[in-house]
Amino acid sequence: MKTIKGPALFLAQFAGDSAPFDTWQGITRWAADCGYVGVQVPSWDARFIDLQKAATSRDYCQTFLGQAAENGITVTELSAHLQGQLVAVHPAYDMMMDGFAHPSVHGNPVARQAWAVDQLGLAIRASRNLGLSALATFSGALAWPYLYPFPQRPAGLVETAFDELARRWHPILDLAEEHGVDLCYEIHPSEDLHDGVTFEMFLERVKGHARCNMLYDPSHYLLQAMDYLDNIDIYADRIRMFHVKDAEFNPTGRQGVYGGYQSWVNRAGRFRSLGDGQVDFGAVFSKLTAHGFDGWAVVEWECALKHAEDGAREGAQFVRDHIIRVTERAFDDFAGAGTDEAANRRILGLDE
């Protein structure tokens, strides 16, 4: 067993155009003041990181890391969620997804996908130059509009979608292998990889690729009515990243999992600040620790009710209180008899 590292904070939800949220120095200093020792960096946000320079210049990366270290902060991972989303986009979402890409490729799905793949390559190379071993991402989605099988899906539709998804991602996974970086897909509704079954469908098509791994976030499982603890037991060998995010699911006679098109405040299932929801994080941290997860516990703050800065400060202490410093000896060592193999055979009556 190993002790989980943390607390760390995913910066995407806190980036802004005013101090201290608009510069790398400012936001790392603020994160440290909140009680964090690490940050996960959105690779698309030029206020914090120049991805092109990070992918090509080790000197730039050393300066980047050094500035964070001056504030007591470690860079835990990069995130390429938005770029990963654009690797596979169903036409129904084209207009909405354009906002994630550079303006030069808006209105051109083919060019947008090529841009996204190039961005992922930069993020993989930047991760290597920063000494990071994992990169967070989304899978994108081709089959999501057909989630509910009515009208009846044409035979082979889902299989064709996953074949194509794997075809697009396999070269990116191979590049990640070349640079020693795990791609950690956040298992997330609206992505084709949204639960264990869909992850397995994808994993089979990329031939069990060693770099195809998971970002575990129990909030997304609770809102799907999945067993988020059993999920750890099943996929422990593939879980390489951890978002600490809370949620609650309170179905009524009027709405359930699908939420009735309501805003986050009015949905039966909604994200909450840590400790305000229903996820049993005591059990989550225990499971991950028992399985030997030695990555970072990264707070992803998303809450429809609480102010972000309050949630961030509370989240740092929440994670600190839940990290289990693993024991170096068994609790009952005091009662050990100091026996050896010969004594064990005598105890079992094997030498009589």
pLDDT at position 343 is 81
Q: What is the 3-state secondary structure (H, E, C) of the chain?
A: CCCCEEEEEECHHHCCCCCCCCCHHHHHHHHHHHCCCEEEEECCCCCCCCHHHHHHCHHHHHHHHHHHHHCCCEEEEEEEHHHHHCCCECHHHHHHHHHHCCHHHCCCHHHHHHHHHHHHHHHHHHHHHCCCCEEEECCCECCHHHCCCCCCCCCCHHHHHHHHHHHHHHHHHHHHHHCCCEEEEECCCCCCCCCHHHHHHHHHHCCCCCCEEEEECHHHHHCCCCCHHHHHHHHCCCEEEEEECEEEECCCCCCCCCHHHCCHHHCCEEEECCCCCCCCHHHHHHHHHHCCCCCEEEECCCCCCCCHHHHHHHHHHHHHHHCCCCCCCCCCHHHCCCCCHHHHHHHCCCCC
What is the residue extent of each domain of the chain? 5-347
Q: Tens-of-pLDDT digits for all 352 residues of the chain?
A: 899 999 999 999 999 999 999 999 999 999 999 999 999 999 999 999 999 999 999 999 999 999 999 999 999 999 999 999 999 999 999 999 999 999 999 999 999 999 999 999 999 999 999 999 999 999 999 999 999 999 999 999 999 999 999 999 999 999 999 999 999 999 999 999 999 999 999 999 999 999 999 999 999 999 999 999 999 999 999 999 999 999 999 999 999 999 999 999 999 999 999 999 999 999 999 999 999 999 999 999 999 999 999 999 999 999 999 999 997 766 556 556 667 888 888 888 897 6
Task: Record the pTM.
Answer: 0.94
pLDDT at residue number 352: 64
- CATH class held by domain 5-347: alpha beta
The whole-number pLDDT of residue 270 equals: 97
